[in-house]
Amino acid sequence: MTEPNRTLWTRRNLLKSSVAVSASAALPAWLKAGQLASGFRVNVTGTDSLRAHAVSRGLLYGAAVNPLLLDVDGLAAGSTADPYTQLVVSQANIVVAENAMKWSALRPTPGVFNFAPADRLLRFAALAGQRVRGHNLCWHEQLPDWFNTTATRDNARNLLVEHIQTVAGRYKGQLHSWDVVNEAVDPKDARPDGLRNSPWLGLIGPDYIELAFQTAAATDPGARLTYNDYGFELDTADQTAKRGYVMMLLRRLKARNIPIHAVGVQSHLKAEGPQPGVGLQTFIREVRKMGLDVYITELDVNTRGLEGGPEAQDYAVAQVYRNYLGLVLPEPNVPVALTWGITDAHTWLNESKDQWARREDGARQRPLPFDDDLQPVPAFAALRTAIDSSRPLVAAPAAAPAVDPNTLYKPFRVQGSPTTSTQSPLPPTPHVE
């Protein structure tokens, strides 16, 4: 594997933009010393990778990926030259499909499942020795077009149960965790329980959440079952209120003995404005008392509204990474952190046409640890430093083991799909000379 990810960080590069990064005059400790000395180059592979550093602290670090961009056959043959594939292999020890496991991706018609992209991710991760998160089994967004005309109060329970049994059943025993229910809380809908007026709530009632978790647990007892949500990281009035409703939901599930193991805190943060603080820290400690872990599931940093060029963005984004992960990763029940993408070349913030994702100067967003050219940016250093500061070493950082495809990838049995005849075939077992 080549080692392309060396870059030059100089004090001038980081600070030449005049901008609104008021703290830039006083550099934080994690960007001082050697890292900013002229000529310093950072190595990001092998024992210097995020992956190696995460393993050395007993953490999982990973990223959302698009399986169709991964050179799985090249990886299986031990000869991939694709830089994106190399980057994901070298940096992550857990991955999640950004879109490929959502209803709309899996179910083009009511009777047909398209598992090909999701299967591809499983095969990739097995080759790379990575864990996989499932995202997601029940959400109000990205439902297929046919859902609106097909789902009724009479069939919605069966539809949800059958979907979970088919999808979680297919990957049974293979996943680290499932986002079983995604984004079920929205105080703006003004219900006393804080739940969102989603299609699932309208068709089944509030107990759709219990039904989803119970079905997932019965189908894949080995997966860590997660409730995943956004917009409750800050100590603003809105987000504090939402955090309260999420806590109310968690207490309800625990009181009913519903199998749930973790809360996903998505962590789509902004460079400007209030930052997460004591409220989130208290929440993490409270859910620990309830026996729950917290996973950072979708971290990235939006710089809309922040003036200045790429260097200013990089500096501000890195500060958010360092402060945020410095707050949450030392908590003992936070063993997992994923960024929503790994390179700015593939991030929803650059793909979205929505105004809140677009920078006023028209520049591309730089929300992730690697830039458009797959080169590390200061957020990489911030992330790695936060990992290193989070907890004691459990092992010295070591390079990922060499991959033997024949020992890592094992085809799995297809379970219970109602559409066996239309399913895409399982990927072939890789053959290596």
Look at the block and give the residue holding tokens 């603080």: 277
Taking CB under 6 A as the rule, does residue 99 contact ligand G3I?
A: yes
* The two structure tokens encoding residue 186: 């929205």
Only one of the segments 82-90, 94-102, 372-380, 417-425 lies at the binding site for ligand G3I (rule: CB under 6 A); that segment is 94-102
Give catalytic status of residue 183 as yes or no.
yes
What three-state secondary structure class fits 287? helix
Q: How far apart are CA 62 and CA 338, in angstroms?
A: 4
Residue nearest to ligand G3I (CB): 348
Residue 321 or 348: the one with the smaller Cβ distance to ligand G3I is 348
Q: How far apart are CA 432 and CA 420, in angstroms?
A: 29
Which residue among 183, 210, 233, 311 is the active-site one?
183
Taking CB under 6 A as the rule, does residue 141 contact ligand G3I?
A: yes
- Select the residue interacting with ligand G3I from 80, 266, 267, 339 (CB under 6 A): 266
C-alpha distances in angstroms, 407 versus 129, 172, 410? 10, 19, 8
Look at the block and give the residue holding tokens 């593939």: 346
Minimum distance from CB of 261 to ligand G3I (Å)? Answer: 19
Site for ligand G3I, residues 313 to 372, rule: CB under 6 A? 348
Only one of the segments 97-105, 159-167, 197-205, 324-332 lies at the binding site for ligand G3I (rule: CB under 6 A); that segment is 97-105
- Select the residue interacting with ligand G3I from 298, 331, 344, 371 (CB under 6 A): 298
Residue 146 or 412: the one with the smaller Cβ distance to ligand G3I is 146
Taking CB under 6 A as the rule, does residue 142 contact ligand G3I?
A: yes
Residue 99 or 219: the one with the smaller Cβ distance to ligand G3I is 99
Give catalytic status of residue 272 as yes or no.
no
Residue 102 or 123: the one with the smaller Cβ distance to ligand G3I is 102
Burial class (CB in 10 A: 0-12, 13-18, 19+), 195: buried
b/e code 235-257 from CB counts within 10 Å (16+ = b): beeebeebbbbbbebbeebeeee
Residue 103 CA to its chain's centroid (Å) = 17
Residue 3 or 141: the one with the smaller Cβ distance to ligand G3I is 141
Burial class (CB in 10 A: 0-12, 13-18, 19+), 62: buried
* The two structure tokens encoding residue 229: 């949500």
For residue 45, what are the contacts with CB-CB under 8 A and spacing of at least 6? Answer: 1, 3, 5, 90
Taking CB under 6 A as the rule, does residue 186 contact ligand G3I?
A: no
Taking CB under 6 A as the rule, does residue 245 contact ligand G3I?
A: no
Taking CB under 6 A as the rule, does residue 114 contact ligand G3I?
A: no
Question: What amino acid occupies position 210?
Answer: E
Which residue among 98, 210, 233, 298 is the active-site one?
298
Only one of the segments 18-26, 96-104, 245-253, 384-392 lies at the binding site for ligand G3I (rule: CB under 6 A); that segment is 96-104
Binding site for ligand G3I (CB under 6 A): 98-99, 102, 141-142, 230, 266, 298, 348
Active site residues: 183, 298
